[in-house]
Homo-oligomer: A and B are copies of this chain.
Amino acid sequence: VISSESISQEDVISVADLGEFGLIAAVRAVLPPDPPGVLGVGDDGAVLPAPDGRVVASTDLLIEDRHFRRDWSAATDIGVKAAAQNMADIAAMGAVPTALLFGLAVPGEIAAAWIVAVAEGMAAECDRAGAMIAGGDVTSSDSVMLAITALGSLAGRDPVTRSGARPDDVLAISGPVGASAAGLALLLAGLDVLPSASEPELLRLVAAHQRPQPDYAAGPAAASAGATAMIDISDGLVADLGHIAEASGVCIEVKSASLPGTRALESAAARLGADWRDWSLGGGEDHALAATFPPEATLPAGWTVIGNARRGAGILVDAKAWSGDAGWDHFRRAGGFPA
């Protein structure tokens, strides 16, 4: 059995050395066995349970140097991140992630151990979410790309779309946001390599960027609590609230004083001379959820009210139209990372 450890010690076996079928075998060796009665990886298609007669599906691409960097993130972290961002989309519909399918395109000279470690990261995050890996494809290419499709189950709940927010709904988020953006800012400033035993919180922010750990249960809990609209915060809080505002035909107001902070965010902001609320408002990739609820709803544990919906259009932050960095467009600013 080829494991990421044994390969990295030899430091020589490339994807081209292994070949397509050898690589598939190496990846399959690190995936957990299929649950009983479920047909997973290894045939033309997987056969997966969809117990309430519906399946939720979402797909995403991750491109090297646009969505991840191999010199900034360990391969396992890249696998975790790829899985997490897709399964967060499933949670944002009010569903429980059940299965993941992946495509990996890599140049032949990449170490097979790198691919195996990516698969290990995906498998670990699927395990954390209670989902299985149900299929995969590997192929050669000039650059590294991951394609992920996540499936999920609503377990009888109605899906929560982006379009159901109504005037007077309260706006809430499932947890603090901005840690990933803060971690990225620390990376860009080179502060992740400083001796920092005294600043473990800063390293945790870097880790939050490299290896997001969404709370998948927050989505189904919000759906059960009557959420009227919901979205995964991936492009940035304000940018993603913009999608809810547009789809629902409402204005969304955010009160920045209500944004939940953390000591880590405050430390990083002090270190970099920044305002952590800018990370919360503009940064994406935490994969917390934002949702609107009827005014009378009892919010699930962990959710924090940060504003409300009202008649109108667009986003107001502290009663002003938001003019900051409103999210990340992968073409207009291609080649760099969101600042």
Interface residues of A (CB under 8 A from B): 15-16, 18-21, 23, 39, 42-61, 63, 66-67, 89-90, 92-93, 95, 99, 101-105, 108, 134-143, 145, 147, 149-152, 154, 159, 161-163, 230-232, 247, 329-332, 334
How many angstroms between the C-alpha atoms of A331 and B42 in the bound complex? 19
Whether A329 and B21, one on each chain, are in contact in the complex, defined by CB atoms closer than 8 angstroms, is yes
- Give the chain B neighbours of A105 by CB distance below 8 A: 61, 63, 145
- Give the chain B neighbours of A57 by CB distance below 8 A: 45-46, 48, 99, 101, 134-135, 149, 151
Whether A61 and B139, one on each chain, are in contact in the complex, defined by CB atoms closer than 8 angstroms, is yes
- Give the chain B neighbours of A53 by CB distance below 8 A: 49-53
Besides A20-B330, A59-B103, 4 new A-B residue pairs in contact (Cβ under 8 A), listed by A number? A45-B57, A50-B54, A50-B55, A63-B139
- Return the contact of A140 from the options B42, B51, B331 (Cβ within 8 A): B331
- Give the chain B neighbours of A19 by CB distance below 8 A: 329, 331-332
How many angstroms between the C-alpha atoms of A150 and B151 in the bound complex? 12
CB-CB under 8 A for A142 and B143, given A43-B93, A101-B149: yes
How distant is A157 from chain B, measured CB to nearest CB, in Å? 10
Question: Can you report 9 A-B residue pairs in the complex whose CB atoms are below 8 A from each other?
Answer: A19-B332, A47-B54, A47-B154, A50-B54, A58-B101, A61-B104, A63-B105, A63-B139, A108-B331
How distant is A90 from chain B, measured CB to nearest CB, in Å? 6
- Return the contact of A66 from the options B59, B139, B230 (Cβ within 8 A): B139
CB-CB under 8 A for A45 and B140, given A147-B61, A331-B23: no
- Return the contact of A58 from the options B46, B152, B247 (Cβ within 8 A): B46
| Chain B residue with the shortest CB-CB distance to A234 | B44
| Chain B residue with the shortest CB-CB distance to A150 | B45
How distant is A325 from chain B, measured CB to nearest CB, in Å? 15
How distant is A315 from chain B, measured CB to nearest CB, in Å? 15
Whether A49 and B54, one on each chain, are in contact in the complex, defined by CB atoms closer than 8 angstroms, is yes
Whether A334 and B45, one on each chain, are in contact in the complex, defined by CB atoms closer than 8 angstroms, is no
How distant is A42 from chain B, measured CB to nearest CB, in Å? 8
- Give the chain B neighbours of A154 by CB distance below 8 A: 47
CB-CB under 8 A for A232 and B44, given A136-B59, A331-B23: yes
- Give the chain B neighbours of A56 by CB distance below 8 A: 45-48
| Chain B residue with the shortest CB-CB distance to A89 | B44
Whether A161 and B43, one on each chain, are in contact in the complex, defined by CB atoms closer than 8 angstroms, is yes
- Give the chain B neighbours of A143 by CB distance below 8 A: 141-143
Whether B59 and A54, one on each chain, are in contact in the complex, defined by CB atoms closer than 8 angstroms, is no
How many angstroms between the C-alpha atoms of A72 and B23 in the bound complex? 29
